[in-house]
Amino acid sequence: MLRKVASGGWKESPIYETPPVGPEGQGPYLNQVVSFWYSGTSERLLNYLKGSEFILGRKPRGHWNSREIDLDLLYFGNEVRRGVPTVPHPQIVNRQFVLVPLNDVAPEWEDPQVGSKVSELLANLLQKEEKIPFRVITSEEA
User: Is 70 assigned a catalytic role?
Assistant: yes
How many other CB atoms sit within 10 Å of the CB of residue 127? 7
Which residue among the candidates 44, 61, 72, 135 is catalytic per the annotation? 72
Q: Residue 52 in contact with residue 1, Cβ under 8 Å?
A: yes
User: Is 67 assigned a catalytic role?
Assistant: yes
Which residues contact residue 129 at a Cβ distance below 8 angstroms, ignoring those fewer than 6 apart?
Answer: 96
How long, in residues, is the chain? 142
Which residue among the candidates 44, 61, 70, 135 is catalytic per the annotation? 70
Which residue among the candidates 3, 44, 61, 67 is catalytic per the annotation? 67
User: Active-site residues: which are they?
Assistant: 58, 67, 70, 72
